[in-house]
Amino acid sequence: MTQETASLTETPMPGANTRKVFIKTYGCQMNVYDSGRMADALAVDGYAPTEVMEEADLVLLNTCHIREKAAEKVYSALGRLREHKKARAAEGKEFMIGVAGCVAQAEGEEISRREPAVDVVLGPQTYHRLPQALQKARAGERVVDTEYALEDKFEHLPDPTKVIGKPRSVTAFLTVQEGCDKFCTFCVVPYTRGSEVSRPLSQLLTEARRLVDSGVRELTLLGQNVNAWHGEDEQGMAIGLGDLLYKLAQIPGLARLRYTTSHPRDMDDRLIEAHRDLRMLMPYLHLPVQSGSDRILKAMNRRHKASEYVALIERIRSVRPDIALSGDFIVGFPGETDQDFEDTMNLVREVNYAQAYSFKYSTRPGTPGADLPDHVAEDVKTERLARLQALLLEQQQAFMQSMIGKTIDLLLEKPGRMPGQLIGRSPWLQSVNVDAKSSQIGDIIQVRITAAGPNSLFAEVAEG
């Protein structure tokens, strides 16, 4: 951390005259983490977060480029913000608009051209420059900063545990790796997030210890390909994500570890051993496969076969039998035949997922998949997706029902809707509601599951 950043983080939050920022986050957990870090940077610049867009002095759209028509959705939101900016200007009040994240990276100057009301455009690697960008914008400069930063942005961000007024949580995200070198033919991430970059071990351990010292009990490690993380230990020896998990597990006060999102090609022996040895590494793994057809996997440039994926799952389950699997699926990739789709359905039946995300393929301009022949008709994609989602939902509901009667450890995270009710997460990432008047947020208690809803569980405190 630079000396300048250290001094900024100890600056008290301003009082009644504090500017307010509203951050709209699209997409994945990485964007949730990034939004939090942008809020940290803005806090030391005099901004307090608000949940009410109309009372904000600054609105930031932290965008995602994964979903269909992502850019158009952002432009639609910017059109509404433009009208609000005009109304605020008529009242003589400042109202600034910023676009960050992957759409900002992909669109760049086009955002300023199409929507002149935008003051600041920042890519995922430059949001640590946000305070300086806003200062330039106030001076009349329209800022577009989508170059890949030469400096380490994490070294220039304030310590989140020292930002006065920042709400504390018992769970936290910790980005350990960014970018992707896999170049799946359907994916824009290598073009919007850049090449795979791993944060240094010492930096991660320092941030993790600070989070735990501030009350965090569960850490989720994040990365576009989180299990591609690599670094050097204190002796200069090469290490991977498994080794990082072993080191984090030694931090006093840390009770739980998770990580997402993984790639099958980077699931090595050491990481599997961590699932065997570390009880604090939760038994839930998000491991996308995308398709069960070897022909489609090759067209997607996934570089693994369906049988290799299933064999990998069997290895993981052999060391951690209680592990729950989550995955991602794309249906209707160019050239997908009925048999290719049936191969996917068969893989789903064989693996038996506790949770999964599934989507129709949609073209991403600039990706190799956009230029492939034999695009699947939209009605065929819709029918296939409905069949796949019905099977995945059946498996998810069966997994939820299987929890009834079990006694589990529950990390209490937040108040529930009813008096005395608290909500926590099971080891398998399910939301659990429990009447626990004698407990408090941050406690890990034993509960017995009494009922299961579509997306959450209900429990009572276990006796004894």
Q: Tell me how crowded residue 239 is: count the other CB atoms within 10 A of its CB.
A: 18
Tell me if 28 is assigned to a ligand binding site: yes
So what's the pLDDT on residue 191?
85
Phi and psi at residue 332, to the nearest 5°: 80, 25
pLDDT band at 13 (very low <50, low <70, confident <90, very high): very low
The reported pLDDT for the residue numbered 151 is 56
Closest CA to 78 of 126, 101, 111: 111
Cβ atoms of 100 and 146 within 8 Å: the answer is no
Class of domain 3-145: alpha beta
pLDDT of residue 37: 84
CA distance 207 to 273: 25
CA distance 445 to 430: 15
pLDDT higher than 90, residue 18: no
- pLDDT at residue 8, as a whole number: 29
Residue 274 confidence (pLDDT): 98
Q: Is 64 annotated as a binding residue?
A: yes
3 state DSSP class of 138: helix
Q: How confident is the model at residue 419 (pLDDT cuts 50, 70, 90)?
A: confident
> Please, are residues 156 and 275 in contact by the beta-carbon 8 Å criterion?
no
Q: Residue 57 carries which side chain, given as an amino acid letter?
A: D
- Express each pLDDT in 221-242 by its tens digit: 999 999 999 999 999 999 999 9
* 299 carries a ligand binding annotation: no
* Bond preceding residue 11 cis, omega within 30 of 0: no
Query: Three-class SS of residue 253?
Result: coil
The answer, as to whether pTM is greater than 0.85, is no
Residue 422 CA to its chain's centroid (Å): 24
Tell me how far the alpha carbon of residue 90 is from its chain's centroid: 38
Question: Given this model, what pLDDT does residue 45 score?
Answer: 82
> SS3 for 160?
helix
Residues 89, 95 contacting (CB under 8 angstroms): yes
Domain 407-461 has what CATH class?
Answer: mainly beta
Give the CA-trace dihedral at 154, 10, 143, 107, to 10 degrees: 40
Indicate if the pLDDT at residue 29 is higher than 90: no
The DSSP code sequence of 341-364 is: HHHHHHHHHHH--SEEEEEE----
Q: Which two tokens stand for residue 62?
A: 């932290």
Cβ neighbors of 376 (< 8 A, separation 6 or more) are 332, 333, 334, 335, 336, 361
Predicted pLDDT of residue 11: 36
- 423 is an annotated ligand-binding site residue: no
Q: Are 267 and 312 in contact (CB under 8 A)?
A: yes
Q: Model confidence over 37-46: pLDDT tens digits? A: 888 889 878 8
Three-state secondary structure call for residue 417: coil
| Residues 354 and 325 sit within 8 Å (Cβ to Cβ) | yes
- Which residue bears the tokens 């030694």? 250
Q: Which of 179, 181, 182, 184 is nearest to 194 (CA)?
A: 179
> What stretches of 300-403 show up as alpha helix (H) in DSSP?
306-319, 338-351, 378-402
pLDDT higher than threshold 70 for residue 463: yes
117 contacts: CB under 8 Å, gap ≥ 6: 78, 81, 82, 85, 97
pLDDT at 398 over 90: yes
The answer to whether the CB of 338 falls within 8 A of the CB of 346 is no
- 385 annotated as belonging to a binding site for a ligand: no
Has 384 been labeled as part of a binding site? no
Q: Residue 5 — very low, low, confident or very high, per pLDDT cuts 50/70/90?
A: very low
pLDDT on residue 157: 67
Is the pLDDT at 386 greater than 60? The verdict is yes
Give yes or no for a contact between 154 and 1, defined as CB atoms under 8 angstroms apart: no
* Residue 411: C-alpha distances to residues 216, 245, 259, 442 (Å): 11, 20, 17, 6
Average pLDDT of the residues in 385-411: 98
The whole-angstrom separation of Cα 128 and Cα 126 is 5
pLDDT at residue 158, rounded to an integer: 64
Q: Which residue has the tokens 């989508």?
A: 146
Q: Please compute the mean of the pLDDT values over residues 285-299 and round it to a whole number.
A: 98
Q: Rounded CA gap, 123 and 100, in Å?
A: 6
434 contacts 461 by C-beta, under 8 angstroms: yes
How sure is the predictor about 320, in pLDDT bands with cuts at 50, 70 and 90?
A: very high
332 close to 360: Cβ distance less than 8 angstroms: yes
Whether 462 shows a pLDDT value over 70: the answer reads yes
Spatial distance between the Cα atoms of 356 and 264, rounded to a whole number of angstroms: 16
Residue entry with tokens 């006694």: 407
What is the overall mean pLDDT for the chain? 90
Under 8 Å between Cβ of 213 and 253: yes
Predicted confidence (pLDDT) per residue in 162-214, tens digit:
554 455 689 999 999 999 999 999 998 888 888 899 999 999 999 999 999 99
Percent of all residues in the chain with a pLDDT value above 90, rounded to a whole number:
70
Half-sphere exposure of 433 (CA within 13 A, CB side): 13
Question: Which of these ranges, 13-27, 382-396, 438-452, has the smallest mean pLDDT?
Answer: 13-27
Q: Where are the domains of the chain?
A: 3-145, 407-461
Residue pLDDT, tens place only, 338-371? 999 999 999 999 999 999 999 999 988 889 999 9
Q: For the segment 49-100, what is each residue's pLDDT rounded down to a tens digit?
A: 999 999 999 999 998 877 667 778 888 999 999 999 999 999 989 999 999 9
pLDDT tier for residue 418 given thresholds of 50, 70 and 90: confident
- What's residue 67's pLDDT? 66
Predicted local confidence at residue 7, as pLDDT: 27
pLDDT, one tens digit per residue, over 113-143 is: 999 999 999 988 888 888 899 999 999 998 8
